[in-house]
C-alpha cells in the first residue's frame, strides 16, 4: 500500500510540473536560440528558465547577459552591460513560440526578423 501511495505522489508531482511548464509562455525558448536579423547586426539570444539570458551580437563582436521578465504583456530584457544606443530594458510583445517559428518585432524603431532555432547556436 505504501508503494502505491508513493507512486501516486510521484505521478502527481510530475503532472503538476508538466502543467506549470505548459503555463510558461517562454518554455519553448529554453535550450534554444532566438536569431534576430535586420537593423544594425544579427543577434543570438539564449533564454533560461531562471529568468536570465545571454546574447551574442555581430558574430561575437559584442556579448551581453542579463535578466528577463514578462511585464504588462511584454517580454522585457535588462542587459548588463547595456547595448549602446538602445534603451534598457528592451521590451517586445510577449508571445509563446516553438522551434521553427518566425516573426517580426520592432526594437528602437528597427523592424527585426526573428526565428527560434533548435539548440544553443
pLDDT higher at 1 or 26:
26
Residue 36 and residue 113 in contact, taking contact as beta carbons nearer than 8 Å = yes
Q: Is 90 exceeded by the pLDDT of residue 106?
A: no
Model pTM score: 0.78
pLDDT tens, position by position, 41-85: 899 999 999 999 999 989 888 899 999 999 999 999 999 988 788
Q: 27-117: which CATH topology?
A: Lipocalin (2.40.128)
Q: Dig out the grid coordinates for 43 from the structure.
A: 543577434
DSSP sequence for the chain: -HHHHHHHHHHHHHHHHHHHHHH-TTTTTTTSEEEEESSS--EEEEE-TTSEEEEEEGGGTEEEEEEEEEETTEEEEEEESPPTTS-SSEEEE-----TT-EEEEEETTEEEEEEEESS--
What residues does each domain of the chain span?
Answer: 27-117
Asked whether the predicted pLDDT for residue 107 surpasses 90, the reply is: no
What's residue 40's pLDDT?
74
Amino acid at each position: 500500500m505504501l508503494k502505491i501511495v508513493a507512486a501516486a505522489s510521484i505521478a502527481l508531482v510530475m503532472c503538476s510540473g508538466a502543467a506549470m511548464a505548459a503555463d510558461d509562455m517562454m518554455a519553448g525558448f529554453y535550450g534554444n536560440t532566438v536569431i534576430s536579423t535586420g537593423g544594425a547586426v544579427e543577434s543570438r539570444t539564449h533564454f533560461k528558465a531562471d529568468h536570465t539570458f545571454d546574447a551574442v551580437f555581430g558574430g561575437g563582436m559584442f556579448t551581453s547577459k542579463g535578466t528577463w521578465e514578462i511585464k504588462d504583456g511584454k517580454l522585457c530584457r535588462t542587459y548588463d552591460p547595456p547595448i549602446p544606443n538602445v534603451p534598457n530594458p528592451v521590451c517586445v510583445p510577449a508571445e509563446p513560440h516553438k522551434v521553427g517559428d518566425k516573426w517580426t518585432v520592432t526594437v528602437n524603431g528597427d523592424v527585426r526578423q526573428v526565428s527560434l532555432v533548435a539548440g544553443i547556436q
